[in-house]
Amino acid sequence: MRYLSGIAILTVLLFSSVVISAYADPPNDKGDHHMGPVTGSKELEKLKTLAGTWRGTTVMEGKEMPVTVTYKTSSNGSIVVETLFPGTPHEMVSVYYDQNGKLGMTHYCALNNQPHMTMDKSSDSEIDLVFANGTNLDPAKGLYMHDVSFDFKDDNSMVQKWTLFENGKEKDVSTFTFTRAKQ
């Protein structure tokens, strides 16, 4: 009996090490098991530099109000997670990623829909994404975010413009002016 317990323990330990090893070092798209940080498109790499907290203002219902947005890189550098209005009932998350070498994003909106946008154009100081498709929305009839633009003034300040569409037409543009928060 003592001999079987030792074999059972050895089997469990061996199996556990194989499972842990598979998760700790999964194969890349070439089947290799080396997992270095992901380097993305020029635009994704630019968004990675936003990591941290940003504070600023926007105008809602005709009134200027303070706003916070956070950025963090996740999933081995393959995505950037943006959280707008963190900790509030209107908190929204956008996930930026490369899709076939081109920047894309999905916006998890407080309007209970998820527009997917792809890069329209970019430069060293600007990134523009535009609606491609979405879930839980009908672009001909619904209310949804149609596009977003980033205007990078310098490494510590930027302006975002989010365009809201309703019934297939532009309804409103919300401008957010942000400055990187001091750590």
**How would residue 147 be classed by pLDDT, with cut points 50, 70 and 90?**
very high
Backbone angles phi, psi at 121, to 5 degrees: -160, 160
On the question of pLDDT at 28 being above 70, the answer is no
Give the pLDDT mean for 177-182.
95
Pairing type for strands 79-84 and 126-135 reads: unpaired
Torsion sign over Cα 61, 152, 130, 43: negative
Give the percent of the chain with pLDDT over 70.
81
Backbone angles phi, psi at 44, to 5 degrees: -65, -40
**According to the model, what pLDDT value does residue 125 have?**
96
Taking all residues of the chain, what is their mean pLDDT, rounded to a whole number? 87
**According to the model, what pLDDT value does residue 14 have?**
43
**How would residue 5 be classed by pLDDT, with cut points 50, 70 and 90?**
low
Rounded CA Rg of the chain: 22
Residues 6+ apart with CB under 8 A from 165: 131, 139, 143, 144, 145, 146, 171
**How would residue 45 be classed by pLDDT, with cut points 50, 70 and 90?**
very high
Give the pLDDT mean for 169-178.
96
Residue 75 DSSP one-character state = G
